[in-house]
Structure 1
């Protein structure tokens, strides 16, 4: 991995009763995202203390790859249109690796 890589940390708070739907949708989104040319990885994690807290950790070769991801049909149709309405809160941080 090099200094141009961009990492995404997204913390989602899923609405009560919507976790199964979110996880099912994210399985498809993750499969499609990992096939993107500029994707390094796409990992989904769940809090041990609150099952409705989901953390996404994604890696992309550069900022252009992040934009391609965000403009992809699957990101728009699955994440933005279907998953986001099932969330109480959504925080997304773009990061660069320091060392």
Structure 2
């Protein structure tokens, strides 16, 4: 990984009663995302303190690869059109590796 690598840390608070739906939708997003050229990894985590808090950790070879992901049909159709409405809160942080 070089200095152009972009990492995404997304923290989602899922609405009560919607966790199973979000996880099912995100399984498909994860499978499709890891097949994208330029994707290094796409990992979904669950908080130990709050079952409804989901953390995504993603890696892309550069900003263009991340942009390609964000413009993909599965991101638009599943994440933006379906998942976002099932969230109470959504925070996304873009990061570069320091060392």
TM-score range, shorter chain: over 0.9
Q: TM-score, normalised by structure 2?
A: 0.99
The answer for the alignment partner of 1:27 in structure 2 is 27
The answer for the alignment partner of 1:13 in structure 2 is 13
**What is the SS of the residue equivalent to 2:48?**
coil
The answer for the alignment partner of 1:41 in structure 2 is 41
Counting only pairs closer than 5 Å after superposition, residues 1-99 of structure 1 correspond to structure 2 as 1-99=1-99
Q: TM-score, normalised by structure 1?
A: 0.99
User: Residue deviations 1:64-96, cap 9 Å, x none?
Assistant: 000000000000000000100000000000000
User: Residue deviations 1:53-74, cap 9 Å, x none?
Assistant: 0000000000000000000000
Where structure 1 has 5 or more consecutive residues not aligned to the other structure, the ranges are: none
Where structure 2 has 5 or more consecutive residues not aligned to the other structure, the ranges are: none
**Structure 1 residue ranges (4+ consecutive) displaced by more than 4 angstroms after TM superposition:** none
Residue 18 of structure 1: CA displacement?
Answer: 0.1
Equivalent residue pairs, number: 99
**What is the SS of the residue equivalent to 1:35?**
coil
